[in-house]
Amino acid sequence: MNDGAQYLGLDVGTQGTKALVIDADGRVLARASRTYGLLPGLPPGAAEQHPHTWREAVRGCCAELLADPRVARERIAALGVSGQQHGCVLVDERGEVLRPAKLWCDTSTAAEAAELRVPAGFTASKVLWTARHEPELWARTAHVLLPHDWIDLELTGELVAEAGDASGTGWFDVRARTWDLAAAARVDPELPARLPRLVAAGAPAGRLHARGAALTGLAEGTLVASGGGDNMCSAIGAGAVEPGSGVLSLGTSATIFGCASKPVHDPSELVAPFCDSTGHWLPLLCVMNATGVLEEVRAAFGASHGELTRAASEVPLGSHGATFVPFLQGERVPNLPLSTASLHGLRAGSLQRGVLYRAALEGVALNLAWGLERMRAVGFAARELRLVGGGAKNALWQEILADALEAAILPLDEPETGALGAALQALWTDGRTRDAGLTCAAAVAGRTARPVGFVEPRAEHAAAWREMRARYAERIAALS
């Protein structure tokens, strides 16, 4: 490795941008963040942000990082960008943004997604919507980019994309890791000519040009890694860089993903067959209801999560027979977008905060187990899951998840695995300038987020959880 070098990682998300700088051993030297939200006043279902908001967040984060005395501007050898997936950034021939970006969570394009038979969040539906509803703007569009691609453009002046993020567009051949031009043409005949050049995993997007150097405060010519989608970079940061390794991310929604040696094919389309950003593949499953369910219970009782967790820890496995089907936001896994949440098995005395909070913890875990069973059926074999996200610190939930998922749970020491993964990808890309055969796994070994615990499934609870999973599956079948 480049001894003495430092590496900067950016994670440009939906709720804000997070950034950090690491040294050549992967130690975090400094952190920064900026928050923002969706554009107000949009029609129902629309979810948009202006890319300039992301750019200014990057500017602010970089300035804060460089002001930290532990960060040496002249030592930063490379930077990488993680970005929210599926967003649609349209630019003209000069690279100027033509409209706010429609985001992954924009449901105003649901009809177009159904027509194209792609998942509702994918970029394809947003392009078709624009071509139909804003044809004059579409005619002026020269390039279609994803959020992290656009940040790379601002940094380097290069129009590039990479396989990980690109596999969430709806016009990508995951197996061949290249654009599916026929699929792009089905979205719009002009789309194939408006796609950026693809760069291979480990290859750079380019180097900072004058405007990128001014934006970041770094030296012109600094190497910029290809970057990737947020899940792809989080996989790197969490250490899921070799086939068989997996990650569970607990946020408002929850995702299970991992590194695979070949693409998966799920006939039900519940498991996304993404590429990762290291040259492998990233099967991914996303449920819509996770920590948001716990927050609803917390708000109902007016107590803290800590208080409710302590109360729930005194309730036995199975929540006295109460089962919480947690579909407060509808659900995509299983594919029940119009479903609602429900409580079953209530008896006298069940309406206590500890019972309902534990039922919520178990209900989310049961739904994740339902989805993980599908992942395993198509070849996802991870029996250890590295745990990240807002819900990762709850020790009771860690135990429940280990039992429900029949997998060891490894909470990690680094909360920002997306930004860390982007920085580590930059380290890998820099290393490849001296050793073209360097793999990501070799480059980041010992530098990823580290486990701070190891929670194994408890054999004495296995029979009870088998019964609970079977009962939950029956309830799901009744809703389908």
- Of 81, 88, 167, the closest CA to residue 125 belongs to 88
What tokens were used for 19? 């950034």
Q: What residues form DSSP beta bridges with 35?
A: 16
Phi, psi values for residue 116, rounded to 5°: -80, -15
User: Per the domain annotation, does 89 fall within a domain?
Assistant: yes
pTM of the model: 0.92
Whether the per-residue pLDDT at 182 is higher than 80: the answer is yes
106 has a pLDDT exceeding 70: yes
Residues 205 and 326 occupy one common structural domain: no
134 touches 154 (CB < 8 A): no
pLDDT 10s digits, 87-96: 999 999 999 9
d(CA 273, CA 254): 17
* Confidence (pLDDT) at 374: 95
State whether 394 and 310 are in the same domain.
Answer: yes
How do the residues of the chain divide into helix, strand and coil, expressed in percent and rounded to 5? 40, 20, 40
Mean pLDDT for the stretch of residues 43-54 = 95
User: pLDDT, tens digit, for every residue of 3-46?
Assistant: 899 999 999 999 899 999 999 999 999 999 999 999 999 998 89
What value does the mean pLDDT of the chain take?
96
| CB-CB contact of 195 with 161 (8 Å) | yes
What one-character DSSP code corresponds to residue 336? Answer: B
Whole-angstrom CA distances from 292 to 166, 299, 312 are: 28, 10, 17
The answer to whether residue 417 is domain-embedded is no
97 contacts 243 by C-beta, under 8 angstroms: no
Give the domain extent around 304. 238-412+450-480
What confidence tens digit (pLDDT) does each residue in 189-230 have?
Answer: 999 999 999 999 999 999 999 999 999 999 999 999 999 999
d(CA 323, CA 317): 11
Label residue 223 exposed, middle or buried (CB < 10 Å: 0-12, 13-18, 19+): buried
Indicate if the pLDDT at residue 383 is higher than 90: no
- Which residues have CB under 8 Å from 168's CB, separation 6+? 85, 86, 121, 122, 123, 146, 229, 272, 274
How far is residue 225's CA from residue 228's CA, in Å, rounded to a whole number?
A: 9
Under the banding of pLDDT at 50, 70 and 90, the label for residue 253 is confident
- Identify whether 442 is part of a domain: no
β pairing state of 197-199 and 160-162: parallel
Tens-digit pLDDT profile for residues 326-340? 999 888 899 888 889
- Among 117, 121, 66, which Cα is nearest to 231's? 121
Residue 480 has pLDDT above 80, yes or no: no
Asked if the model's pLDDT at residue 1 lies above 70, the reply is no
Residues 265 and 403 in one domain: yes
**Is 112 found in the same domain as 54?**
yes
Residue 230 designated active-site: yes
Q: Choosing from 230, 276, 403, 430, which is the catalytic residue? A: 230
Give the span between the Cα atoms of 366 and 271, in whole angstroms: 17
Q: Do residues 279 and 312 make contact, with C-beta atoms less than 8 angstroms apart?
A: no
Angle, nearest 10°, between helix axes 462-479 and 395-405?
A: 80
186-214 burial, b for 16+ CB within 10 Å, e for fewer?
Answer: bbbebbbebbbebbebbebbbbbbeebbe
How many domains does the chain contain in total?
A: 2
State the average pLDDT over residues 426-454: 97
212 and 255 assigned to the same domain: no
Instruction: Evaluate whether residue 426 is within a structural domain.
Output: no
Q: Is 395 found in the same domain as 327?
A: yes
Q: Rounded to a whole number, what is the largest CA-CA distance in the chain? A: 69
82 secondary structure, DSSP code: E
**Residue 76 in 3-state DSSP?**
strand
Same domain assignment for residues 222 and 242: no
377-382-383-389 Cα dihedral, nearest 10 degrees: -110
Inside any domain, residue 335: yes
